[in-house]
Amino acid sequence: MTPRPTTPAGGTTRGALYAFGAYLLWGLLPLYFLQLRPTGAFEVVAWRIILAFVFCLLLLTVLRAWRAFLAILRQPRLLGLTALAGALIYVNWQTYLYGTLSDRVVETSLGYFINPIVTVLLGVVVLRERLRPLPWIAVGLAVVAVVVIVAGYGSFPWVALVLAFSFGFYGLVKKQIGPSVDAVSGLTLESMWLLPVAGVQLAVVGVVSGLTLGTAGTLHAALLLAAGAVTAVPLLLFASGARRVPLTVIGLLQFVAPILQFVIGVWILGEAMTPERWIGFALVWVALVILSVDSVAAARRHRRVVSDVMDPV
């Protein structure tokens, strides 16, 4: 009988807690960003880029990870992919901040509810992966949900769709990068490529309306300066968790963030939910249940196959 590999005691539980912590923090982000008013979305994103870069430089020093980071700088392919990832995450951050600060938190939650379905669709279209019948049903329901929201609510949910597709393509690029770039080095490079954009944004905001850092009180300044840590900490928790738990666990935990955003938008901020919006969200939730059930069933089938191969007796 062939011995089976073992998982370190507590590793899976610890990994699940790390991943849960990441999604919990991401889900609570609207409450943090709303405290940054009167700072606008363009200024917040600019400071987020600059301060995330500074925070990552400190992490590289504390973790003594400069050698790995400098090795990445000698690989043009990885540099190009991290630049593309930076562009995509910039679109995601800018859209998310605009949605949050313009009282569209519910719509941002819709974007992250739809994101897993977009990821599945990108796998089929870009990576030529074969899709089972249930995920196709989930994709169809998501399309119907968007149509219902547009027809009934009277506005196109562009914030939700930009968030879903930008993060979906970001995940696709990160998949191409793979384990060659660790989380800290990746965020450092993505922020580094965006530094010129952040500088231009701060200059334009300074000329047009004036920068708010240091003009709205000590607490506001402290919260704004914390943007780098607020950006990096959930990402590092996620990276630590993803290495320790199966992908199906990550897939189920990712719904924590949009659920919290939805609750904040509807029950704390009092954003409007028309009957058409409820129907649209309900269709998306049904699609996610179908997708989750199919994912769990596929993972169990895979484990049984692996078990039979390793232990045929």
pLDDT in tens, the chain (313 residues): 444 444 444 577 888 898 899 999 999 999 999 999 999 999 999 999 999 999 999 999 999 999 999 999 999 999 999 999 999 999 999 999 999 999 999 999 999 999 888 888 888 888 777 778 888 888 888 889 888 888 776 778 899 999 999 988 998 898 888 888 888 899 999 999 999 999 999 999 999 999 999 998 999 999 999 999 998 899 888 878 877 777 667 777 888 999 999 999 999 999 988 888 899 999 999 988 888 888 777 767 766 655 554 555 5
Total domains in the chain come to: 1
pLDDT of residue 151: 79
Residue 2 lies in a domain: no
Distances (CA, A) of 27 to 46, 118, 195: 21, 19, 26
pLDDT at 312: 52
Closest CA to 23 of 261, 288, 219: 261
Residue with tokens 């996620």: 238
Contact present, 82 and 177 (Cβ < 8 Å): yes
Q: What is the mean pLDDT of the chain?
A: 87
Residue 7 DSSP class: P
Residue 5 placed within a domain: no
Q: pLDDT digit string (tens) for 215-225? A: 989 999 999 99
Q: How far is residue 161's CA from residue 158's CA, in Å, rounded to a whole number?
A: 5
Q: Is residue 65 part of a domain?
A: yes
- Establish if 184 belongs to a structural domain: yes
Does 188 map to a domain? yes
Q: Which domain holds residue 172?
A: 11-310
Look at residue 118 and tell me if it is in a domain. Answer: yes
pTM: predicted TM-score of the whole model, two decimal places: 0.87
